[in-house]
Every structure is written in C-alpha cells, then in structure tokens.
C-alpha cells in the first residue's frame, strides 16, 4: 500500500505500511517526539532494540503499522494491533502518533481512516484505546471519533518516569467510528486529500 494524500494545508504525504528498512527513520521519528508525549507510551521508543521489536511484530502479522512520510522523513505512525485470544478476536487496538509540526492538519484522522479500513478487512468489529489520564487532548480526540469511556483503572500503569497513572479504557463500535470519520472528513474537505 502506497497512498499519496494532501493535508489541509496542501502538504503532500505518502502513507504506507512500515518496512524493515524503516528502522533508522522510525527511530529518528520517535526521538523527535516531545519528551512529554513519549512519557505516556508503553515502551521507551528511543531505544533502537525496542524499535527493532516494533518492526518485528509488524512483520509477524500481530499488528499493522502505517507511517506517513514527507520525502524520506516519517512524520506520523499509526498502529492497528490485533487481539490474539480467540474470545476477543473481534477487537483491535489502535494507537496514532503525529509529530508536533504536523498536528491539527488532519494527518491523524487520515491515518486513523486507513487503520479503520484495515480493521474492517480483518473482521474487527470494535476498537479499543488504552490511554493514561493525563493525555487529555488525545482523550478529547477519541471522544470526537465516537469512543466512549468504558473503565478507569486507578494507578494501574506507570509512565516511563515511574509515576503511577490511571488507565482509561475507551471503546468504539467500528460502524459508529466510520460515521464519525466520514463526518470529520466531509467537514475538512476530504475530496481535496484524495
């Protein structure tokens, strides 16, 4: 999959699946994220061995990663992770990271739309997001996309600095999510980005 799209401001982006050759690019992208953003990630993405494992899990089919590139520079990363247990096979989990300079330009929504399409093709019916309570803007975006808070687990996880944080679990039926994405894309002149 290679898809050329334009952001709201006319910037040309290539969306494609992550490849093994992207190791250095992905490492540079992760290191460029603000420390405050990285603090709430599950793993230390500035560690090259961790990035190698990320690429390996993508190659194994446990997950699908979509990256957004401007020229050869990764500016966003999206993940669709599949549930391995049979009784939860209808669930998928998504995560999206966008570099600071490309936020609020529709890039996160474009990647989410691609992840949504992949989820549908894999018979995923519901999407889960697990997020730490201090990530207020991410929580707000998820609500706009149709996610509903299902649970709060107080002090359940630790951020990368070792501070305990509440874990918020949000869930969205994929058909409801599609309606929200379509509405957003119509409002943002999606035709321009095709």
Residue 16, by phi and psi: left (phi above 0), alpha (psi -120 to 50) or beta?
A: beta
In angstroms, the first-to-last Cα distance of the chain is 15
Domain count of the fold of the chain: 1
Q: How far apart are CA 64 and CA 31, in angstroms?
A: 21
Residue 161 sits in a domain of what CATH number?
3.40.630.30
Domain that holds residue 35: 2-193
Per-residue pLDDT tens digits for 104-139: 888 988 898 888 888 888 888 899 999 999 998 888
To the nearest 10°, the Cα dihedral for 36, 42, 48, 53?
-160
CA dist., res. 107 & res. 183, Å (int): 15
CA-based R_g, the chain, Å? 16
Give the model's pLDDT for residue 190: 42
Residue 46 and residue 33: Cα distance in Å, rounded? 10
Confidence of residue 189 (pLDDT cuts 50, 70, 90): very low
pTM (two decimals)? 0.83
């Amino acid at each position: 999959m290679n898809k050329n799209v334009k952001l709201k401001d006319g910037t040309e982006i290539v969306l494609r699946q992550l490849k093994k050759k992207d190791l250095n690019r992905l490492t540079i992208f992760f290191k460029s994220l603000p420390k405050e953003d990285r603090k709430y990630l599950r793993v230390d993405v500035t560690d090259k061995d961790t990035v190698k494992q990320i690429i390996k899990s993508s190659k194994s089919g446990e997950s699908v990663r979509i990256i957004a590139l401007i020229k050869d520079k990764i500016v966003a990363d999206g993940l669709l992770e599949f549930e391995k247990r049979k009784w939860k096979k209808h669930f998928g989990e998504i995560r999206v990271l966008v570099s600071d300079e490309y936020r609020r330009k529709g890039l996160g929504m474009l990647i989410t739309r691609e992840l949504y399409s992949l989820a549908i093709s894999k018979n995923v019916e519901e999407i889960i997001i697990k997020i730490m309570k201090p990530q207020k803007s991410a929580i707000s975006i998820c609500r706009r996309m149709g996610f509903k808070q299902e649970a709060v687990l107080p002090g359940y996880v630790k951020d990368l600095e070792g501070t305990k944080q509440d874990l918020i679990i949000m869930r969205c039926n994929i058909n409801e999510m599609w309606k929200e994405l379509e509405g957003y894309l119509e409002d943002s002149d999606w035709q321009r980005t095709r």
